Amino acid sequence: MWKHRFLIKGSQQETEWLNRLAKKHYLLAGIRGNWYQFERVETSYRVFSEYVSQDVVTAMTEEKSAFKVLVTVQLQDPDVQVVYTGSDQPILQTTTMAPSDPQVRLKVALHLRDQAMNTINLSLFAGVVVWGLMIIFAIRQGSDTFISWAVLVSLIGIFALLRLYRAAHNLQKQIVKLRRDTDEYDGAWMPTMHVFINQLTADLDVESADLKSLGRWTLVGHSKKGQYWYDLQTLANEKEIKQSLRVDIPTTATVNVFSWLGLAPVMWFV
């Protein structure tokens, strides 16, 4: 059985999906790009994945252990391998493992997202060309049937593109989380959020772990009444910003967050 999924190789989302199938006795047997092959087995397996170098893969394959090496996948960026192992021992069926190196997962996710977007762009271009040629041919032939086929093919193409776009969007959500976990924002476009804080007695410690993980802070100004205005380049949303700020500001302070398309609060003066 083959299934197609846009998932980050070695990610928690991928492992959870593989284990859901493994519980139904479908064990991972191969991976080709974004296609996953499964084989029917008699027992339930628990599947694990991790990033390792080639020499470690060789050692894992040769040694005898409770874990069976199911599949290995060579990644190009970064240059590591993802090794998928499984075990049918009852004691390991409820075992969970922390996700592998987040820096590596971020690089893998960025590479996979770029592939997805390139596929979308290429498919869109090819679809427009093919659709145009079919319409021209149908008009010249004067065939209503051919026009109907052209419309049907167009609808199928749109559906496929929407699925690819949804996959790329889901990858982007995972990338945002990984960027925040690793504080790696190089090459990322981060919209500026305007953060207004009332009743603040001193400047924020923007180097603290909670605030630094949000993005890049810039103090725009403050008033004598304790009103502060910060610009924050971030991938976080309004709710996440407010939750992180609550740890670093007094309980009496109020926070207003406006997007890069928003305006300053009425009656706010520097």
pLDDT tens across 239-260, in order? 888 888 888 888 888 899 887 5
Most confident of 67-76, 112-121, 182-191: 67-76
CB proximity list for 180: less than 8 A, separation 6 or greater: 213, 214, 235, 236
Q: Where are the alpha helices (DSSP H) in 142-251?
A: 144-182, 209-212, 238-245
Domain span holding position 78: 2-100
Q: Report whether pLDDT(22) > 70.
A: yes
Q: Does residue 254 lie in a domain region?
A: yes
Q: Tell me what pLDDT residue 64 has.
A: 56
H/E element holding 143?
Answer: none
Picking from 80, 76, 87, the residue whose alpha carbon sits closest to that of residue 101 is 80
What is the C-alpha separation between 213 and 193, in angstroms, rounded? 15
Residue 269 counted as domain residue? no
**CB count, 10 Å around CB of 114?**
13
Report yes or no on 265 lying in a domain: no
**Whether residue 186 has pLDDT greater than 80:** no
Query: Distances from the Cα of 55 to the Cαs of 32, 165, 185, 264, in angstroms?
Result: 22, 37, 31, 57
Q: How many domains does the chain have?
A: 3
Domain assignment present for 225: yes
Amino acid at 62: E
Q: 270 lies in a domain?
A: no
| Of the residues 162, 182, 202, the one at which a domain ends | 182
76-93: per-residue pLDDT in tens?
766 778 888 888 777 666
Express each pLDDT in 114-166 by its tens digit. 777 777 777 777 777 777 777 777 677 666 666 677 677 777 777 777 777 77
Same domain, 167 and 222: no
- Please state, rounded to an integer, the average pLDDT across all residues of the chain: 78
Task: Provide CB contacts within 8 A for 224, sequence distance 6+.
Answer: none
At 263 the pLDDT is 46
In a shared domain, residues 145 and 235: no
Q: Kind and range of the H or E element at 237?
A: none
What count of Cα atoms within 13 Å lies in the side-chain half-sphere of residue 28? 29
State the pTM of this model.
0.57
Q: Is residue 29 a contact partner of residue 70, using CB atoms and an 8 Å limit? A: yes
pLDDT digits (tens, 9 = 90+) for 199-220: 888 888 888 888 888 888 999 9
